[in-house]
Amino acid sequence: MSTGELVIEDLRAGIPGREILKGLTLTVRSGEVHAVMGPNGSGKSTLAHVLMGRPGYEVLGGSVTLDGIDLLGLPTWQRARAGLFLAMQHPIEVPGVSLVESLTAARRIVPTDETAPDVNERLHAEAARIGFDERFLDRSLNVDLSGGERKRNETLQLGVLRPRFAILDEIDSGLDVDALADVGKRVQEATTEWGLGVLAITHFHRLLDVLHPDVVHVLSGGRVVATGGSELAEIVDRTGYAAYT
């Protein structure tokens, strides 16, 4: 069971010439689910990209550590090796590379426990858990998949790789009600199965009905402007973000 913490402290970051995150602080511990909500353009995806080290974003100040390891000084693959995973808001198509190939490559750098089954075995078990059609497993990564299928695909990768901390950038977008329930349940179970810590970016309370947040943060203008329990998500759902901007 994983124990540890992902600590984001006074993070300031953006693109050249524009600061988007303006001093963001939050800590996610193993097994916890933190929801990040916020209006369009508030910097949620920027946070996800900066945490994972996407090229084109600059860090202007602050720190991000995973069990004391400075992530911001590491290339993306080493952040993954340290235990960080990102489910992208818009998963990209990778023609010519199958899901199995990409996961086999990823497992070479991501530590797995000695008894972990091989990629194929785990892939099929995880596909069954979230009702992902096996027909898609041999296709090129995300090619010709619908939005919802891509989100299931991201969840599948999470289940196979079993990272310590996962950032889910609108994993609910494009999912129908049944798929949402499957995905939410799978992620929720991971928090107790291996102690996954989750930063779930979402607009909608409906994800949080299946993936229960321990803490809810509202992001606005690149800062956390409110933090609370699950009741905060309900309030935002009812009243919108106006009170927080």
Q: State the burial class of residue 35 (Cβ atoms within 10 Å of its Cβ: 0-12, 13-18, 19+).
A: buried
**Does 55 interact with ligand ADP (rule: CB under 6 A)?**
no
Q: Is 125 in the site for ligand ADP (CB under 6 A)?
A: no
Q: Is 157 in the site for Mg ion (CB under 5 A)?
A: no
The residue within the footprint of ligand ADP, chosen from 43, 83, 91, 195 (CB under 6 A), is: 43
Residue 245's SS3 state is: coil
Q: Does 16 bind ligand ADP (CB under 6 A)?
A: no
Task: Look at the alpha carbons of 222, 228, 234, 238 in this order and tell me if their dihedral is positive or negative.
Answer: negative
Q: How many residues bind Mg ion (CB under 5 A)?
A: 3
Collapsing DSSP states into helix, strand and coil, what is residue 140?
strand
68 binds ligand ADP (CB under 6 A): no
Closest CB to ligand ADP among residues 57, 132: 57
Q: Please tell me whether residue 191 binds ligand ADP under the rule CB under 6 A.
A: no
Partner from ligand ADP, Mg ion, none contacting 15, C-beta within 5 to 8 A by type: ligand ADP
Give the distance between the most distant pair of CA atoms in the chain.
50
Q: Backbone phi, then psi, for 190, in 5-degree steps?
A: -65, -30
Q: Considering only residues 50-89, where is the footprint of Mg ion by CB under 5 A? A: 89
**40 touches ligand ADP by CB under 6 A:** yes
Residue 151 binds: one of ligand ADP, Mg ion, none (C-beta under 5 to 8 A by kind): none
45 touches Mg ion by CB under 5 A: yes
Is residue 46 part of the contact set for Mg ion (CB under 5 A)?
no
DSSP per-residue string spanning 157-211: HHHHH--SEEEEESTTTT--HHHHHHHHHHHHHHHHHT--EEEEE-S-HHHHHHS
**Strands (E) located in 92-137:** 94-98
Tokens 């991201």 correspond to: 154
Min dist CB 200 to ligand ADP, Å, is 13
Note whether 38 binds ligand ADP by CB under 6 A: yes
